[in-house]
């Protein structure tokens, strides 16, 4: 301490000021106006928007691929075919059973089985031919009897023969036209239904060999190759929209309350140094899950991806802006002390240290908003490791409060 300072000590003590000086130089700054963001920093993973997984509907080997990863596909586009392991033969057999069952119903509705009906039809044709012959004989005998050239008994015999043939024809016709019994018909129709159900199942088995795109989009995942065996339910492809992607953001449990719908987030990726993508939160967490050693909620946000750089499953860094203010009076965070929720800072007034209570606003990683307590004209002290006391006269070196967030 200088001799002049030593001489002033008695006066300073009387006025309540400290004559002790800091052991190191104190830095002073002027509060500056700047934009400040409060943000959470975490990680996430990219997903295709409206992505749809495609699963194998049957087990078998992949016999042919019709697409490759990265293709744009339309709804219903054939992606791959599984090998036919007897499904076509089973379908042919089921079709034959349906045809046979339907034929039995048709035949029964006609009254008889086809062979019996054919035999009766042949019998009726013979009887009708015999009747025509008898009718011709009767007409001839009528003329002969009228001239007295034939006996009446011959004509009567021909008439009796005609009646016998007509009775026989009527009997055969009655058999051919016999009414269908309802119970038997229901039984045959049930057989048809069972056969048709088996055919539908066989058709489904054939259809399950053909795996198609469930929607329009980009085929961004095709994890199978020709010759691979897949089990029923295995994932064989994924289709989604890559023009707009979704980031699944993993937020630690205590931070979930700081996120709302519409909150802005910024994405970065190690694969693209210097690039940044903006996204907006459109779905909040619905549960807490274990993520390694963390307990997190999974929040989703949508991001435009015009050049396709954000690939599905790409790991991204995430900065979620939770609060923002523009042109606010600010000081470095190190200039502020918070005890039991009360914030304060040291200022230089008339060459000595003064304690000043402040109200803080948005807190950024380097600077903090001061809503009340400072008007921007003060010199705020950055004590560093030095100890400052009220009224202490200080050696202050002014520094520039650089703009930034």
Read off the pTM.
0.56
The reported pLDDT for the residue numbered 10 is 38
Report pLDDT digits (tens) over 208-257.
999 999 999 999 999 999 999 999 999 999 999 999 999 999 999 999 99
Radius of gyration of the chain (CA): 50
Residue 146 neighbours by CB distance under 10 Å? 10
Report pLDDT digits (tens) over 21-77.
544 578 999 999 999 988 899 999 999 988 999 999 999 999 999 999 989 999 999
Residue 241 neighbours by CB distance under 10 Å? 18
Give the separation between CA 366 and CA 273, rounded to whole angstroms. Answer: 23
Place of tokens 């390694």: 292
pLDDT interval class at 13 (50, 70, 90): very low
**247 neighbors 42 (Cβ within 8 angstroms):** no
Backbone phi, psi, residue 335, to 5°: -80, -5
Q: Which SS3 state, helix, strand or coil, does residue 394 take?
A: coil
Give the separation between CA 106 and CA 296, rounded to whole angstroms. Answer: 68
Report pLDDT digits (tens) over 352-391.
999 999 999 999 889 999 999 999 999 999 977 788 899 9
CA-based torsion, 230, 233, 239, 245: positive or negative: negative
Cα–Cα separations (whole angstroms), residue 149 to 144, 157, 159, 160, 253: 5, 16, 18, 20, 126
From the list 23, 127, 13, 18, the residue with the least C-alpha distance to 395 is: 23
**41 neighbors 178 (Cβ within 8 angstroms):** no
Average pLDDT, the chain: 86
Residue 143 β-bridge partners: none
Q: Could you please report the per-residue DSSP string of 150-215?
A: S-HHHHHHHHHHHHHHHHHHHHHHHHHTPPPPHHHHHHHHHHHHHHHHHHHHHHHHHHTTEEE-SS
Section 10-16 average pLDDT: 38
Report pLDDT digits (tens) over 144-197.
888 888 888 888 888 888 888 888 888 888 777 765 566 677 888 888 899 899
Q: What is the largest CA-CA distance in the chain?
A: 185
Give the separation between CA 379 and CA 31, rounded to whole angstroms. Answer: 7
pLDDT interval class at 4 (50, 70, 90): very low
Section 5-18 average pLDDT: 38
Q: Which SS3 state, helix, strand or coil, does residue 111 take?
A: coil
Give the separation between CA 347 and CA 353, rounded to whole angstroms. Answer: 6
């Amino acid at each position: 301490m200088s001799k002049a300072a030593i001489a002033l000590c008695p006066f300073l003590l009387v006025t309540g000021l400290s004559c002790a000086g800091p052991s190191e130089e104190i830095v002073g700054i002027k509060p500056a106006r700047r934009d400040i963001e409060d943000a959470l920093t975490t990680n996430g993973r990219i997903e295709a928007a409206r992505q749809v997984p495609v699963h194998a509907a049957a087990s078998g080997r992949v016999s042919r691929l019709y697409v490759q990863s990265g293709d744009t596909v339309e709804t219903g586009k054939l992606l791959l075919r599984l090998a036919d392991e007897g499904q076509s033969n089973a379908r042919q057999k089921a079709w034959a059973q349906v045809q046979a069952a339907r034929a039995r119903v048709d035949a029964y509705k006609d009254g008889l089985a086809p062979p019996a009906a054919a035999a009766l039809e042949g019998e009726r044709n013979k009887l009708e031919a015999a009747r025509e012959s008898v009718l011709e004989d009767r007409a001839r005998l009528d003329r002969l009897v009228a001239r007295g050239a034939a006996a009446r008994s011959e004509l009567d015999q021909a008439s009796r023969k005609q009646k016998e043939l007509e009775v026989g024809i009527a009997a055969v016709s009655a058999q051919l036209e016999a009414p269908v019994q309802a119970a038997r018909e229901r039984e045959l129709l049930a057989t048809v239904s069972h056969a048709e159900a088996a055919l539908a199942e066989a058709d489904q088995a054939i259809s399950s060999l053909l795996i198609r795109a469930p929607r329009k989009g980009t085929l961004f995942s095709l994890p199978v190759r020709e010759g691979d065996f897949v089990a029923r339910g295995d994932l064989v492809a994924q289709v989604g929209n890559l023009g707009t992607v979704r980031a699944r953001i993993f937020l630690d449990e205590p931070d979930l309350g700081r996120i709302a719908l519409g909150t802005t987030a910024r994405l970065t990726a190690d694969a693209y140094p210097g690039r940044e993508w903006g996204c907006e939160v459109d779905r909040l967490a619905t549960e807490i899950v274990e993520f390694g050693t963390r307990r997190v909620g999974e929040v989703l946000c949508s991001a435009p991806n015009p050049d396709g750089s954000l690939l599905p499953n790409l790991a991204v860094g995430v900065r979620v802006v939770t609060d923002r203010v523009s042109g606010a009076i600010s000081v470095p965070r190190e200039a502020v002390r918070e005890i039991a929720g009360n914030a304060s800072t040291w200022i230089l007034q008339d060459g000595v240290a003064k304690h000043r209570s402040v109200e803080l606003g948005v807190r950024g990683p380097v600077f903090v908003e001061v809503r009340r307590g400072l008007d921007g004209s003060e010199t705020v002290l950055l004590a560093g490791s030095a100890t400052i006391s009220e009224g202490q006269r200080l050696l202050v070196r002014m520094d520039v409060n650089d703009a930034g967030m």
